[in-house]
Structure 1
Amino acid sequence: MVVIDKEVNPHFEDFLFDWNQKFQFLVGGYGSSKSYHVALKLVLKAIQEKRKILVIREVYDTHKDSTFALFKDILETLDMLDESGRKKIAKGKARAKESPYEVVFSNGSRIIFKGMDKPAKLKSIHDISIIWLEECSEVKYEGFKELIGRLRHRSLSLHMILSTNPIGEDNWTFKHFFKDELNDYFVLDDHELYEKRTILVGDTYYHHSTADDNLFLPQSYIDELDAIGSYDQDLHRIARLGRFGVNGIRVFPQFEVQPHEEVIKAIKGIYKPLFKNGMDFGFVTSYNAVIRMAIDHEKKYLYIFWEYYKKGLTDVELAKDLEHLKKIVIKADSAEPKTIAYFRQQHFKMFPAKKFAGSRAQYTKKVKRFKKIICSNECINTIRELKTLTFKQDAHGEVSEDEFNIDPHTLSAIWYGLDDYEVASLKGHNAESFKEV
């Protein structure tokens, strides 16, 4: 029996020996020691019973200076690293091998390192009973689901440990382990985890940590993390507080979602509402997006109450889908004059929106001038694209006012729909009847 004498951070003591759940999700800030304690937990398990453990990162080559180096360091500090060069590994010891990376224990346990950038090499691995997915937010959701299927063993319990620094709430890790408002999916409020620090939900163990939980960190490191808050709030939230959120500068911080019935009721209560309709064209990779809006000009509120969002349709199919919109004025992308001409032949009141150099930035500024942008909860694609939409930043952190983190087709439709409207004036008033909405 191998006796281990190792000082650890108190916040991780229970985690080290808890194997009651299939999934263990660790999220935390920089320097919290979560990765260290995951690796130590796996070493302790590998000593206790014969296991084949798979350690995954998105890119295989990154193992060298991260997970593989971490395991070597732990084995060395525990005086368990066998570097004798003998064929047989000394009892109670382990050997770290390179090319490919692997840690082999004297009792037959193995820790194997793989990358999702080389998926073909995963297919030949069998009898995996534990997987550690390090920096899991960098791995694609499809990869995560595939790895669950790789957990197979005839007799041993199966476990997956996921560790990450928090990033945006649009990442699959947040949507899967916490909530996905767009798909009405809820597991846990992340703020409850930040408060309680560890929570058990079903077959998943949640663990939150920050630099304050690492008693071995020098104060100077924590001071550096604190200082981040003075110049980068997003990074401070991630690095110091270890919390999810919206990364970057939100394009529309005034965007909010309300139940459809409440949106319609609010629109009906507007004195002389202005109705606007915009359309962005797509086909193979991009989407046809139609957005219907109502404006409360006095309050400077924009209401989004209806959307259409499909791709891969011919003009004939698209016109058939939108036939019920023939009576309303639609402003569309002027880059598609042939499509607009076809729609007009089919008796649609469709007109090209103005486009000019710098129009993307100008249209975006126009939308930002609304005090509130209130979206019906039935407009799921508009919510998905606009709720967490941020400005694109270059390598130096400079913001581009006409580029975003995604290509938001619904925003393009909004741009075109507001083509002849100015937030500061009554120009382009459209007295469209609400009965036609």
Structure 2
Amino acid sequence: MTTKSPITWKRIGTLALSLTLAWGLGPVYAQSGVSAAAASSTCGSGDHGLSATLKKGSGVEDKHLQFTDIDFLNNTTGRAAGEGFLIGTSNAGCTWQSIYTGQWQFMQIDFPNNVNGFALAQMKDSAKTYLIHTTDGGSHWNRLDTPGMQFKRIDFKNKNEGYGYTYNGAYRTQDGGLSWIKIHTPANTRSVAFTTNKQGYAVQVVPGSGYQLLRTADGGKNWTTSLKVASATWNGADLYANGKQVWAVLYGDAGMSQQSYSLYASGNEGRSWRQIFAQSTAGGGPAPGGSNVGKGKGPADPGGHPGNMSLIGDQTAYLSGGSPAAGKVGIGRSYDTGSTWKNIDLKDPGYSSRISFPSAQTGWLVVTSDNSPAVYQTTDGGTSWVQKMLLPSERD
């Protein structure tokens, strides 16, 4: 099924061609009703004249717009997704354009190149998650059938090869999501990540004991336990891997708008691990493995909730976070696979966020909470941030 934006577009001849070459996001069109003043707004300011178009096209004219994810191919070109819309930039957020508006409520976007992209999305008033695919940069989307597979995360290495992860399993595709091969994973698996068809990692729950971190070097045929983490509760996990580095977020309980969780890192393909921190909270109780060596908190303390991670090379890692209790967002970072760790708060409102770092120093953060939905850029590894897009919040 193909879903097309309901917006009417008008080609602008030679100007459109020049913008296409400059922006790299595919053909650029002028939207009916967008004024010349909005098109020439100050670099990186406000909503870039897009709010009215996005609200109308996504069908939320009587509600507020909300971001859900962000994905950058390089330091200048990327996309930010929301509930019923997708926007893009190819000049580092100086200007943004509407790419898609319609029925799809994006949850995660993944573009292996500037033309082919994949997303997990829902439809309005439906809890079912679909895998969808675009071949024109995101303007139009086709639904891909995934019978019996409810993906919670996708990771495409290129336009053909990728992985889909469910709550307790993993699948691999070699034809752009048209068909999937189930990967053998241990019983009671709660998160999986593969860097190649052979090298993979899993988090396993052991009732009455806690979590186990495992690795495979033969595509899941055999799994080896490399770390056991004691925990009285086991409420899920997230795994991230790139090159030789692997990171595991292990969740404890949550309560009073606070989240207990621990962060572990490996710099040698999961053979050995170190605990980076164990964030125990009054509302959530002890963090997994919190009685061992872990000290400190995650980003956006107090009681911050983790967002997602971006890994660069074999050593650099970033973790986003947000604190409903404090009404702020932030990141944590390491340049040495967790030997040292630093948390940095953004001095801007919000309580949940996601990040995309295409390089070690340049990254993007999107506030996904409904207060002050905005996109920020850093060029110094998260030490300072500049706002590049701001949509009207629920309080406006």
Please give the TM-score of this superposition, normalised by the length of structure 2.
Answer: 0.29
Larger Rg: 1
Please give the TM-score of this superposition, normalised by the length of structure 1.
Answer: 0.27
Greater fraction of residues in helix: 1
Greater fraction of residues in strand: 2
Q: Which has the higher contact order (CA 8 A, sep 6+)?
A: 1
